[in-house]
Amino acid sequence: MSHPLFDLTGKTALITGSSRGLGRAFAEGLAQAGARVVLNGVNAERLEAAAQEMRDQGFDVLTAAFDVADEAAIVAAFEALDTAGVDVDILVNNAGIQFRKPMLELDTADWRRVIEINLTAAFVVGREAAKRMAKRGRGKVINIGSLTSELARATVAPYTVAKGGIKMLTKAMAAEWGEKGIQSNAIGPGYMVTDMNEALIENPEFDAWVKGRTPMRRWGLPEELAGTCIYLASDASNYVSGQIIYADGGMISVL
């Protein structure tokens, strides 16, 4: 039995990019804490398969298939949720891509796509969710940042800039939406075992660098982020806003 402050029973959470990876881990954690979850992704087949896997575990799961880079699709998805009587109490802006290339070789189109998906989408989905949360006088927005919200790594400039923007967007949301009863915070994952990082994990030099640079001397597991997500989604964080919490094995805190 969890502490009542962390109980999400009766709440609905929309998690973008949640058919796999970190987003799926957030969805599983929130569902385990009692929330109904709305999974999102662009691939409807993969999304439905993920939803069914979670339903088979006994969780209450809906799906909302839309591309977070498509504003019209986002607006339509929220209107469909309105029509279905589904109120989003918790939004996890997780969807994101990585694109590794030195800036001197980087096409502007590739720069723009990363910024669009990793930053602008969080604003658009956040705005649509907050319009509805504000009417109810309560809501939780959880943006997913990165170690690159604070520190730059060569060859991932657009991702770094977008994630730095996520940190400041979170503060901007806190500034404007606090009086509406909405808390806006962020999670900064460390180097996690995900598909997006597969090439890094399989690179012996990079693997050694991560383990040497991380006080806990290992990569993180997606499910190790669930507790921070549950905390920021719950009444336990009702007076916390504008913060970014790093779950990174200590990496951001050491030289």
Q: How far apart are CA 135 and CA 140, in angstroms?
A: 13
Answer yes or no whether residue 218 interacts with ligand GCO by CB under 6 A: no
Write out the binding residues for ligand GCO, residues 94-133 only, by CB under 6 A: 98, 100
Q: Which residue has the tokens 């991702």?
A: 159
* Smaller CB separation from ligand GCO, 17 or 189: 189
The stretch among 3-11, 25-33, 140-148, 167-175 that binds ligand GCO (CB under 6 A) is: 140-148
With CB under 6 A as the contact rule, the residue among 26, 59, 66, 159 that binds ligand GCO is 159
Q: How far apart are CA 5 and CA 7, in angstroms?
A: 6
DSSP letter string, 80-120: HHHHTT----EEEE---------GGG--HHHHHHHHIIIII
The residue type at 226: A
The stretch among 28-36, 104-112, 147-155, 234-242 that binds ligand GCO (CB under 6 A) is: 147-155
* Smaller CB separation from ligand GCO, 23 or 189: 189
Half-sphere exposure at residue 2, Cβ-oriented, CA atoms within 13 angstroms: 18
Distance in Å, CB of 142 to ligand GCO, minimum:
16
* Smaller CB separation from ligand GCO, 2 or 243: 243
Answer yes or no whether residue 156 interacts with ligand GCO by CB under 6 A: yes
Vertex 128 angle, CA 188 and 41, to 5°? 60
Assess whether 239 carries a catalytic annotation: no
Answer yes or no whether residue 135 interacts with ligand GCO by CB under 6 A: no
Lay out the site mask for ligand GCO across 160-199 (x = CB under 6 A, - = otherwise).
Answer: -----------------------------xxx----xx--
* Smaller CB separation from ligand GCO, 164 or 190: 190
DSSP state of 254: -
* Smaller CB separation from ligand GCO, 79 or 195: 195
With CB under 6 A as the contact rule, the residue among 16, 40, 148, 184 that binds ligand GCO is 148
How many chain residues interact with ligand GCO (CB under 6 A)? 14
Q: Are 18 and 94 in contact (CB under 8 A)?
A: yes
* Tokens standing for residue 48: 């439905």
Kindly state the helix (H) or strand (E) to which residue 233 belongs, with its residue range: helix 226-233
Number of helices (H), then strands (E), belonging to the chain: the values are 9, 7
The stretch among 66-74, 82-90, 128-136, 142-150 that binds ligand GCO (CB under 6 A) is: 142-150
The residue type at 253: S
Q: How far apart are CA 9 and CA 174, in angstroms?
A: 24
Q: Which residues bind ligand GCO (CB under 6 A)?
A: 98, 100, 146-148, 153, 156, 159, 189-191, 196-197, 200
Catalytic residue annotation? 159
